Amino acid sequence: MGIKDLGRNFQEKFLGNKEKTEVEEKGPEELVQEEVIDPIQNKDLTIQQQADRIIKILEENPEYLSEIVEKVAESDAISQEAVDRATIDATDSSEVSDDVAKALAEQASDKPTLHVLKETTMSVSQRVKLNATIDDEKTKEEADCTTFRKIYNNLKTLEDLKVLPEKLEIALGEVQRTERTDNELYKLIAKNFAIMYHELNGAMNIYPMEKIIPLDEMMKEKMPQRIEEEYTDLLDDDEENKFDIESVTNTFLDRIAKEVSAEANRMGSSIELFAPTDLGELSEKEIEKYLDCLNKYNPCLTALARGNIKDRLQRREHDEYKVEQFIEGIRELPESQGKRYLSILAQLSPKEMDTVVQCIESGLVDSLSKKRAKERTKYLEIINKSVTRRENNKSESKRKEGEDIKGSEETTTVDSEEKLQGSENNSQTQGQNPTSPGEDDEYML
């Protein structure tokens, strides 16, 4: 090779590097202007041609993905349709990086964004962020369902279960819970338990999921049956099905009984105030098992309390019995005192009357009647703190709106009892509770 050739090669390399350096130094705004906007303004480019140019500039400048997409979206010369087309094309092309599609999705319309969510792999945090850009409620619901499905599909081993609670907490932080999203969520949780049961010979650690979804909600949504379905899907063709749904159901019932008993004992209150009123469709045998579990953790559980809890779980009502019992109590009071109680009840609103019924059915009235008047205020304050704490826990775990309403009704229960107590304490007439005589003059009915 001669000197001239050496000089020519050196010049080509030098100039080539210089040109490359100049291109690399161009910022996102300049790149978009020269590569996309100017050609659009100088030529009559179709939507497809615009989309192709957008994808090309993003592929060639991966370090500026977000910045370029932002400039593209801000330009009046580039249509939204071109951005949407580029998003879908980038997602469907095996030659284009998923990062390009995900960057475009942040500025795309709802349906192209959903397409990216369904067809690409990304972290839960990325999904939550991208879901938040969707405006249409139905599309967003589908995107949220997709998030749970993606987690579900990637859940295969015990190792995957370790990070599942964190993933669910991130997802539930933004998901608007609906019947559809809940179904995907319950299916995912059931698979979590099924993998444990399958790999650990019937053992299950309930606690991590209990922090995500309350146990009574799981039972209400037939979690043992859901686990059985997921377990069956995990079995190989020649593998024996060893699933024992009775054992699994009893595990859940025992755990629920233990939790509500601990709460009742901590508050010094009747277990009836904390026992769930709805655990789904339980058989007679399952209800008796649950009551036995309650009795195990509450040795002082009375036959009356056991019967009341059973009636509520079976959705039985004894309105006639309650009314007769109430009337009998009024009759045993001095006439003036009985009239005053009836006058108080006549002034309560329909909602307050419903609350009084709840007080009776929950055992609160019976519990208060066994305490001296001086102890009741402190007792009600403790219950009110418990209600407030439970309400805060519901908000933190994003429970359904119906549970929030129930929580507010529980607070109203305490308020109505305080009204009755206040009226009684203001009275100078002395008398005793017909069923629980005590040392003080004044008692709640």
Q: Is there a domain that residue 396 lies in? A: no
Residues 44 and 99 in one domain: yes
The pLDDT score that the predictor gives to residue 321 is 45
Tell me: do 126 and 226 sit in the same domain. Answer: yes
Residue 319 has pLDDT above 80, yes or no: no
pLDDT confidence bin for 30, thresholds 50/70/90: confident
292, 268, 265, 277: which is closest to 370 by C-alpha? 268
CB atoms within 10 A of CB 47: 14
CA angle 219, 223, 229 (to 5 degrees): 160
Residue 286 forms part of a structural domain: no
- 158 or 5, which is more confident: 158
What pLDDT does residue 371 have?
A: 65
- Per-residue confidence (pLDDT) for residue 428, from 0 to 100: 40
For residue 206, pLDDT over 50 is answered with yes
Tell me: pLDDT of 270 over 60.
yes
Looking at the structure, tell me whether residues 50 and 145 fall in a common domain. Answer: no
Examine the domain organization and report whether 174 and 73 are in the same domain.
no
Tell me the pLDDT band of 165, cut-offs 50, 70 and 90: very high
Claim to verify: residue 365 and residue 433 sit in the same structural domain: yes
Statement to judge: residues 378 and 435 lie in one domain: yes
The pLDDT, as a whole number, for residue 430 is: 40
Inform me whether the pLDDT recorded for 228 exceeds 90: yes
Taking only the tens place, the pLDDT of each residue in 81-112 is 999 999 999 999 999 999 999 999 999 999 99
Whether residue 11 is predicted with pLDDT greater than 60 in this model: the reply is no
Where does the pLDDT of residue 212 fall: very low under 50, low under 70, confident under 90, or very high at 90 and above? Answer: very high
Please report whether residue 311 resides in a domain: no
Contacts of 429 (CB under 8 A, 6+ apart): 334, 336, 337, 340
Top-confidence residue, 373 or 365: 365
Q: For residue 428, give its domain range.
A: 348-391+405-445
Same domain, 79 and 186: no
What pLDDT score was predicted for residue 180? 96
- Cα–Cα distances (Å) from 112 to 36, 86, 90, in that order, read 21, 9, 11
E-strand stretches of 26-174? none
The better pLDDT of the pair 211, 29 is held by 211
- What does the pLDDT average to over 62-66? 89
Q: How confident is the model at residue 258 (pLDDT cuts 50, 70, 90)?
A: very high
Per-residue pLDDT of 177-201, as tens digits, reads: 999 999 999 999 999 999 999 999 9
Q: Which pLDDT band holds residue 444 (cuts at 50, 70, 90)?
A: very low
Is 246 among the domain residues? no
Q: For position 317, what pLDDT does the model report? A: 52
Q: Is residue 138 part of a domain?
A: yes
Q: Which of 105, 200, 169, 101 is nearest to 143 (CA)?
A: 105
Domain count, the chain: 3
Give helix 98-105 / helix 65-74 axis angle, nearest 10°.
40
Final residue belonging to a domain, choices 222, 238, 254:
238
| pTM value surpassing 0.75 | no
Q: Which of 88, 111, 134 lies at the terminal end of a domain, its last residue?
A: 111
**What is the reported pLDDT for 426?**
47
| Statement to judge: residues 354 and 411 lie in one domain | yes
The overall average pLDDT reported for the chain is 80
Q: What is the pLDDT of residue 266?
A: 84
74 and 148 in a single domain? The answer is no
Q: What is the pLDDT averaged over residues 390-415?
A: 55
- Does residue 253 belong to any structural domain of this protein? no
Q: Which residue has the higher pLDDT, 362 or 418?
A: 362
Quick one: average pLDDT of 326-348? 74
| 386 plus 445 within the same structural domain | yes
Question: Is residue 409 included in any domain, yes or no?
Answer: yes
Q: Of 238, 268, 285, which one is at a domain's C-terminal end?
A: 238
Q: Does residue 13 belong to any structural domain of this protein?
A: no
Q: Are residues 90 and 152 in the same domain?
A: no
pLDDT (0 to 100) of residue 382? 74
Q: HEC states along 167-233?
A: HHHHHHCCCCCCHHHHHHHHHHHHHHHHHHHHHCCCCCCCHHHHCCCCHHHHHHCCHHHHHHHHHHH
pLDDT at 4: 47
pLDDT of residue 294: 93
Are both 137 and 222 inside the same structural domain? Answer: yes
